[in-house]
Amino acid sequence: MAYTDIDKPSDYFETKLYTGNSTGSTQQAITGLDFSPNMVWIKPRSDAEKHSIADTVRGATKTIHPHLADAEETSAGHMVSFDANGYTVGVDNYSWNKNGSTYASWNWKAGTSFTNDASATGIGSIDSTGSVNTDAGFSICSFTGNGTSGASVKHGLSTKPAMMIIKNRDEADSWQVYHHKNTSAPATETLQLNETGATSDTSNRWNDTEPTTAIFTLGDNPTVNKNTIKYIGYIFSEKKGYSKFGSYVGNGNVSGSYIHLGFSPAWFMIKRTDSASSWRIWDNKRDTFNVRDTSINANEADAEYTDASVYIDFLSNGVKFRNTSDNVSGASYIYMAFAENPFVSSTGVPATAR
């Protein structure tokens, strides 16, 4: 019976729901988290408005949109500040704080700053800065491309990344995703977070080179490594009982595939890799009991939706699909999951059932 590395997952990840209150001049403090977030991903639930991500490495006024290829935006009306137990949103009337609209935010803690001078340390070939939490396996990594195949970047983690999400900040380029279970040769493959397409074999993203415990390697494609262009990377490694980045093959049954995570999930995102499909997200705050039928697609601005064809159960130790839409017989999928509770604590105590 697997124990956990983290007994209280809400110290590092948590979903927060709120209702907008701005009528054009009102800011709103969103409180109640158990940590000061370093990355906040916000999506209006009730409206077809943009996904938005802000982080402490780029700064509160810098916004990028997971469902769009657009370059980074700068606005003081979006995220105002990252606070001790939450964050403050500004006077934006649409994607962040529209009066009466409902919102979901997904929040991660990094927290320890790092700077790597590659020529001085000999780690990587491109300088990087960022914020990292090695306990939770999460790094926010900023770097400037050099346009050279085989360039490498220090990510700040002491463990090998299981998933990397990288965005060109300066230009309109698709988000690039590495996932360690995406085919049998994941370093040769890439997915796009803002698109529905199947995985593609592309040596010019990861240079056909697996990341290590110290660095990740890039090709010369402009989406990840164009000379003088700024990039941001969200880098994750697995932590037992807290996070898991895996794969499954659908069985085509309405009492569908069971995925063992080793924890009860707080957040779960999937993507079919062998065919076009959306990046679908469920969490434990928008639906609080099984079956969970309210989802949001990361690759589109649509409001959240309730659909019997995407039912899923959150269990004490994993998830079980109750549909065939995300469980097509023989189809390949990847997933990204974070815990609400570990199945067994670090001292061997089973989680309390609800």
Is 353 part of any domain?
no
**pLDDT tens digit sequence for 234-275:** 999 999 999 999 999 999 988 888 999 999 999 999 999 999
Q: What is the pLDDT of residue 104?
A: 98
Residue 108 has pLDDT above 50, yes or no: yes
**pLDDT tens digit sequence for 207-234:** 999 999 999 999 999 999 999 999 999 9
Is 304 part of any domain?
yes
Distance of CA 260 to the CA centre of its chain: 20
Q: What is the pLDDT of residue 25?
A: 84
Last residue of a domain, one of 108, 134, 167: 108
Confidence of residue 353 (pLDDT cuts 50, 70, 90): very low
Q: What's the total number of domains in the chain? A: 3
Instruction: Identify the domain containing residue 295 by its residue range.
Output: 243-342
Let me know whether 184 and 284 are in one domain.
no
Confidence of residue 354 (pLDDT cuts 50, 70, 90): very low
**pLDDT tens digit sequence for 23-75:** 878 899 999 999 999 999 999 999 999 999 999 999 999 999 999 999 999 99
Last residue of a domain, one of 202, 236, 270: 236
Residues contacting 42, CB < 8 A, separation 6+? 51, 52, 53, 54, 89, 95, 96, 103, 104, 105
Let me know whether 98 and 137 are in one domain.
no
Nearest to 294 by CA among 9, 14, 15: 15
Is 1 part of any domain?
no
Let me know whether 152 and 213 are in one domain.
yes
Residue 308 has pLDDT above 50, yes or no: yes
Let me know whether 217 and 257 are in one domain.
no
Contact between 123 and 154 under an 8 Å Cβ cutoff? The reply is yes
Is 2 part of any domain?
no
Let me know whether 221 and 306 are in one domain.
no
The answer to whether the pTM exceeds 0.85 is yes
Let me know whether 119 and 220 are in one domain.
yes
